[in-house]
A and B are shown apart, each in its own frame.
Chain A
């Protein structure tokens, strides 16, 4: 009887640990981890884009401030001449960012609201991120 009771206690503890493991997302990235990864890819790519459009004379902490808060970027801070190829690539990137940003905000609203993200939204975001990374 005592042996059975001890076995039952061990079993309960084991299942409690398995449940905690599942909740913490072990065995794969959790939804928030995936979202953080997606957000960070976007942010990193955006920083690279800003590095390419900002005047080379802007450097150091000022450049970092502009990356952290791009609203501060004004026309006089931007490069004014690009090679044709460079201009095409950067124009395409700007287009992707313009399409991707509202989708990513919507995606994050689903995540923060604890709702399932629609598959077509995820598909659109992945496609656009692939385009960003391909350029």
Chain B
């Protein structure tokens, strides 16, 4: 392999590694954001914090 070809190959690998690292970071930020949003949804949807129908008393009339 000539010196020029080797330099090109190494440069190509380095640029690929840089691109890959950038893509990995973006993906990680996205995952962190999506995860954080999903956890906020879970925290908000706590069945202990709001009213529910009384299902034992709410069956008269055979439904709506």
Q: Is the CB of A108 within 8 A of B44?
A: no
Residue of A nearest to B24 (CB): A24
Q: Are A112 and B39 in contact (CB under 8 A)?
A: yes
Contact residues in B for A39 (Cβ distance below 8 Å): 35, 38-39, 41-42
Q: Does A40 contact B (CB under 8 A)?
A: yes
Q: How far is the CB of A113 from chain B (nearest CB, A)?
A: 12
Main secondary structure of the interface of A (DSSP, over half): helix
Chain B residues in 8 Å Cβ range of A72: 50
CB distance from A19 to the nearest CB of B (A): 10
Interfacial residues, chain A to chain B (CB-CB below 8 A)? 2-3, 6, 9-10, 13-14, 16-17, 20-21, 23-25, 30, 32-33, 35-36, 39-40, 42-43, 46-47, 53, 56, 68-75, 77-84, 86-88, 90-91, 94, 97-98, 101, 104-105, 108, 111-112
